[in-house]
Amino acid sequence: MSAVYLESVGVLAAGLPDWPTARRVLSGAQAFDAAITAQPNPLLLPQNERRRVPKLVRWAIAAAQEAMSGAGRAAADVTMVFTSSSGDGEIVHKLCEAVAAPPREVSPTLFHNSVHNAAPGYWSIGAGSRQGSVALSGHDASFAVGLLEAASLVLAEQACVLLVACDLPYPDPLSAQRAIEASFGVAVLLTHAPGTGALGRWEISIESGAESTRFPGTLPRTLASNPAAHALPLLAAVACDAAATVPLTYVGGRHVAVEVRPCR
Q: Is residue 224 within 8 Å of residue 166, measured between CB atoms? A: no
> Under 8 Å CB-to-CB from 101, ≥6 apart: which residues?
none
Please, which residue, 31 or 101, has the CB nearer to other proteins? Answer: 101
Taking the complex as a whole, how short is the minimal distance between the CB of residue 125 and other proteins, in angstroms? 5
Give the contacts of 240 (CB within 8 A, at least 6 positions apart).
Answer: 26, 27, 28
**Smallest gap from residue 70 Cβ to other proteins (A):** 23
Other beta carbons within 10 angstroms of residue 117's beta carbon come to: 16
Query: Which CB, 42 or 121, lies closer to other proteins?
Result: 121
CA atoms within 13 A on the CB side of 103: 3
- Contacts to other proteins by CB under 8 A: 2, 76, 85-87, 92, 95-101, 104-108, 111-118, 120-122, 124-125, 127-139, 141-142, 145, 148-149, 151-153, 155-157, 172-174, 176-178, 206, 208, 251-254
Query: Which of 199, 204, 231 is CA-nearest to residue 215?
Result: 231
In the complex with other proteins, the residue whose CB is nearer, 52 or 221, is 52
Cβ at position 21, least distance to other proteins in Å:
31
Whose CA is closest to 127, among 68, 183, 200, 194? 68
Rg (CA), the chain: 18
Secondary structure class of 176 (helix, strand, coil): helix
Gap between the Cα atoms of 186 and 167, Å rounded? 10
Q: Which is nearer to other proteins, 139 or 221 (CB)?
A: 139
CB closer to other proteins out of 7 and 149:
149
- Of the two residues 80 and 187, which places its CB atom closer to other proteins in the complex? 80
Distance in Å, CB of 196 to other proteins, minimum: 25
Nearest distance in Å: CB 69, other proteins: 20
Nearest to 123 by CA among 112, 134, 137, 111: 134
Rounded Cα distance, 210 and 173, in Å: 30
| Residues in CB range of 43: below 8 A, 6 or more apart | 50, 65
Compare residues 27 and 137 and give the one whose CB is closer to other proteins: 137
Residue 131: CB minimum distance to other proteins, A: 6
Q: What is the closest distance, in whole angstroms, from the C-beta atom of residue 102 to other proteins in the complex?
A: 8
